[in-house]
Amino acid sequence: MDLDDTDNSASSAVRGERAASQTLRAQLMLRSLIIGGELKPGERVSELQMVDRLGVSRTPVRAALIHLEHENLVEALPSGGYAVKELSEPEILVAIEIRGTLEGLAARMAAERGAPADLIAAAHVVLEEIDRIVLPGPRPNGLERYVRHNARFHDLIVDMAGSDTLARQIERAAVLPFASPSALVPMEPGSVETHQSLLLSQFQHRIVLQAIELRQGARAEAMMREHARTAHCNLRRALIAGRKLAELAVASLSSNS
Amino acid sequence: MDLDDTDNSASSAVRGERAASQTLRAQLMLRSLIIGGELKPGERVSELQMVDRLGVSRTPVRAALIHLEHENLVEALPSGGYAVKELSEPEILVAIEIRGTLEGLAARMAAERGAPADLIAAAHVVLEEIDRIVLPGPRPNGLERYVRHNARFHDLIVDMAGSDTLARQIERAAVLPFASPSALVPMEPGSVETHQSLLLSQFQHRIVLQAIELRQGARAEAMMREHARTAHCNLRRALIAGRKLAELAVASLSSNS
DNA sequence: TTGCCCCTATCTGTATACATAATTTTGCCG
DNA sequence: CGGCAAAATTATGTATACAGATAGGGGCAA
């Protein structure tokens, strides 16, 4: 069978991933289709249709669907098969709260157990990089760099907790489009409002890191929780601004490498 | 092909489930094999071996393995295939902490949003049933009834939060043998120590429910978290007493209907 | 005797064939 | 003209065939 992706309508999602397994390719492409809105919420995801669309056979498509079910992006229909899960605003808020709660737990564990020195140092470096982005003032193009460093900081906090189980659980909670720490993409790139929001987030980053260093578990946890609630504001703003879900796909996909 | 389970070495795990799909059967049986210790931690789970052992073909076995991977019971090997995940004591403690944290979040959300009256009433009924079990004093055979009602109470709290997303996440966190709220099975049935532990748990139940009714979110959350840490003691006791993981399989499996 | 290389046996990933169940469409009757 | 039923199409669940890869064992050479 022809396995290259020359005629693949969703091949842009797997740029540079052509060596990966068919299952992973199907998973990434399906995620992209769902988050990008090309598959409407509530719509049935026909396996054969996906075979035509993704260029892989039914087996990897089916495996990808099982994975996506656990990621809360599709749900199993009672009569068999899967449908794109419709995300209500309250459920997204809950997902954000779950992520914040678990990241708060990670921060507290890091503070109570003590975080490895190299991770602390790496976090300081990341925060200084963010400083160089946000301190000079609002500038275009700084947003995507911020998102990258922000995601790295969150990953470092989770790593400091030293638990693979916790890391996985957090990763799963952050799959939903607006629940990811990188979900501030819909913000207006150059606006003063955006810039102030980033400054506040950076303050929170510093407090979390300081609390972890000082072994202040409760403080680290509370601040991390509050920090996650920044996403609430972003979601509210995005819902008011209109449907720009497609933009989120890139950030959401790039954050789980 | 012969599809009945007459020569099925693990058929006891699916008693009453013969109408279910092959995938679900494979998932339940594999869970039982892993939690029951028949598959040793770190051991590779050969698909063909499981085909022989479970009496289903490779496709359902493979689907079940993907599900179990998301349940943290197996992990994907870099070279392909899966292996039984080895659960270190610290990781189990983390899993308990995750469950407690998320159940605490559920209790707080129930308190802040207000729980449906019928669920509150149902919870009161359950607590009165538990009272009838533990108040008269230590008695044999009360333990399994306690476990059942205890699981029901925890489910009710989660339901009160009114979020399917949160419910799923908690369910996943509670799959690990000792992380489930039903994980007090290894306790000695008739001992005074066991009875006092149950009494304390029941006090905590009452406080959580009262806090939810009074809209005391922080109190409900803190008490629910602390309540989950009861499992820490049970784990410690079980590890001292010796390996009786097999007993936990039943409780763990029955709690996720 | 020991270490390295090759060969074999098995295992996974993928594709596909087949049977059962669900859904849609079409035709007929009221 | 509308509703219901039946048939056909399509969907999923399951089993299996096949190819590439991997790991392990045995044999040969130093």
Protein B79 CA to nucleic acid C5 C1', in Å?
22
A171 and A106 assigned to the same domain:
yes
Note the pLDDT tens digit of each residue in B104-113: 999 999 999 9
Write down the pLDDT at residue A189. 63
Cβ contacts of A62 on chain B, cutoff 8 Å: 63
Task: Name the maximum alpha-carbon separation found in chain B.
Answer: 59
Which residue, B85, B10, B76, B88, is CA-closest to B43? Answer: B85
Interface test with B, best of A62, A98, A178 (most B CBs within 10 A): A98
Chain-chain contact of B165 with A105 (C-beta, under 8 angstroms): no
Nucleotide nearest to A65 (CA to C1'): D12
Protein B58 CA to nucleic acid D15 C1', in Å?
8
What average pLDDT does this structure show over B111-126?
A: 98
Write down the pLDDT at residue A187. 61
What average pLDDT does this structure show over B133-138?
A: 78
List the beta bridge partners of residue A76.
A82
CA dist B151 and B154 (Å) reads 5
| Residue pairs spanning A and B at CB distance below 8 A | 62
Write down the pLDDT at residue B24. 96
Percentage of chain A lying above the pLDDT 90 cut: 61
CATH code of the domain in which A238 resides: 1.20.120.530
Q: Give domain status of residue A3, yes or no.
A: no
Chain-chain contact of B105 with A105 (C-beta, under 8 angstroms): no
What average pLDDT does this structure show over A203-208?
A: 98
Chain-chain contact of B98 with A102 (C-beta, under 8 angstroms): yes
CATH code of the domain in which A78 resides: 1.10.10.10
Domain boundary among A24, A57, A84: A84
Write down the pLDDT at residue A185. 54
CA dist B68 and B20 (Å) reads 17
Average pLDDT of chain A is 84
Strands of A164-217, DSSP E: none
A94 and A179 assigned to the same domain:
yes
Confidence of residue B241 (pLDDT cuts 50, 70, 90): low
Distance, in angstroms, between A183 CA and closest chain B CA?
Answer: 18
Q: Please count the structural domains in chain B.
A: 2
Interface test with A, best of B66, B77, B175 (most A CBs within 10 A): B66
B116 and B202 assigned to the same domain:
yes
A80 and A95 assigned to the same domain:
no
Q: Give domain status of residue B127, yes or no.
A: yes
Let me know: does B53 contact B40? Beta carbons within 8 Å: no
Q: Give domain status of residue B112, yes or no.
A: yes
Question: Collapsing DSSP states into helix, strand and coil, what is residue A44?
Answer: strand
Q: Give domain status of residue B142, yes or no.
A: yes
A80 and A119 assigned to the same domain:
no
Write down the pLDDT at residue A140. 66
Q: Are strands A74-76 and A82-84 parallel, antiparallel or unpaired?
A: antiparallel
Confidence of residue B181 (pLDDT cuts 50, 70, 90): confident
Note the pLDDT tens digit of each residue in B190-207: 677 788 888 999 999 999
Q: Give domain status of residue A69, yes or no.
A: yes
Q: Give domain status of residue A1, yes or no.
A: no
Q: Lowest-pLDDT range, A71-80, A214-223, B38-47, B230-239?
A: B230-239
Chain-chain contact of A63 with B67 (C-beta, under 8 angstroms): no
B111 and B235 assigned to the same domain:
yes
A100 and A66 assigned to the same domain:
no
Element (H or E) spanning A75, and its range? strand A74-76
A176 and A73 assigned to the same domain:
no
Q: Which of A70, A98, A172 sits opposite B105 (nearest CB)?
A: A98
- Structural domain containing residue A16: 11-84
Q: Give domain status of residue B3, yes or no.
A: no
A124 and A247 assigned to the same domain:
yes
Q: Give domain status of residue A16, yes or no.
A: yes
Let me know: does A84 contact A121? Beta carbons within 8 Å: no
Q: Does the structure show a pLDDT above 80 at A190?
A: no
A192 and A115 assigned to the same domain:
yes
CA dist A66 and B70 (Å) reads 10
Protein A75 CA to nucleic acid D8 C1', in Å?
29
Domain boundary among A41, A59, A84: A84
A109 and A17 assigned to the same domain:
no
Q: Which of B59, B91, B166 sits opposite A163 (nearest CB)?
A: B91
Q: Does the structure show a pLDDT above 70 at B184?
A: no
Half-sphere exposure of residue B257: CA atoms within 13 angstroms, side-chain side: 11
B37 and B102 assigned to the same domain:
no
Domain boundary among B33, B53, B84: B84
